Amino acid sequence: MKVVIAGSGAMGCSFGFMLQKSGNDVTLLDGWQNNIDAIRKDGLHLQDGTAELSTKIDIYKPEEFKDSADFVIVFTKSMQLENMLSSIKHVLRDDTKILCLLNGLGHTETLKKFIEPKNIFMGVTVVTAGMKGPGSAVLSSHGKTEIQNIVPEGKAGAELIVETLNKATMPAVYSDNILWSIWRKAALNGAMNSTCTIMECNMLELGSIAGCKDMMRCIISEFAAIARTQGVTLDVDSVTDYVYGFTQPDFVGAKHYPSMHQDLIKNHRLTEIDFLNGYISRKGKELHIPTPYCDLITTFVHGKEKLFGL
């Protein structure tokens, strides 16, 4: 299968590496010139657990790549999605399948501007990954990826994608309710990514802070209130237990720094806050639903962005 990874940071490099290793023809697309140069010169390096792996793999800027693809996975930042899709329109044939694994909320409408609904697949992954530097990624945990078509005629395509990822040892399952999973993942990110970024800590360190679980419950309650207006029911207690579990010492990836922390604190880049807590804050104002925790978190993260000169 001809696979294109649109956005080749930590997650894109990890999925791309494993998909190529399992026999697919993979091309990475990225806008980070240092990453492109390093991979072209020395190949892509991946630390998978204790294994140090490397492979030669094609990488281009999106506008430089002239071929089409059978399957595209988008791993851009949320705010970059529309620009990426615009720049790879030539890659998308009438039968090209595209899987969106982005954090955050509201991406389906953006995808529909460029792709027929039958070829759009939404997913949620709890894979954790990071970048050591240009051309070098760390795959911290092979978490599960859930996938679903957004219209009934896409089910066979979703099942093919699940099969392809499983062959690449990236555990995947077909979901009957991906919208619920997307909202639960957004609540996870809203309670974990943004707080680790504000506190400048990893997940294990966050969990050691007194009152952490109660704070998470308050944030998740606000996500649940907005989800309810869109027909999605999140059980606050069970989601809180799920999220808090990632901060505990028995979770293999507990020392992982979430992607928002990597973006802002490590690399001084803008965050996806407006598609997470910021989305909840914005919808809360529109619907007259109080969201004080998400309001404050959004203000703090934007404040840190400004202090970094972004």
C-alpha–C-alpha distance, residues 220 and 65, integer Å: 41
Q: Is 283 a catalytic residue?
A: no
The amino acid sitting at 293 is Y
Contact (CB, 8 A) for 103 and 125: no
Helix (H) or strand (E) holding 130: strand 128-133
Helix (H) or strand (E) holding 182: helix 178-199
C-alpha–C-alpha distance, residues 257 and 277, integer Å: 18
Query: What's the token pair of residue 291?
Result: 């969201």
Which of the residues 185, 213, 266, 285 is marked catalytic?
Answer: 185
3-class DSSP state for residue 141?
A: strand
Contact (CB, 8 A) for 60 and 160: no
Give me the residue label for tokens 């679980």.
213
Query: What's the token pair of residue 140?
Result: 């911290």
Give me the residue label for tokens 């140069």.
37
Helix (H) or strand (E) holding 125: strand 120-125
CA proximity to 31, closest of 84, 91, 85, 96: 84
C-alpha–C-alpha distance, residues 239 and 256, integer Å: 20
Among all residues, which ones are annotated catalytic? 185
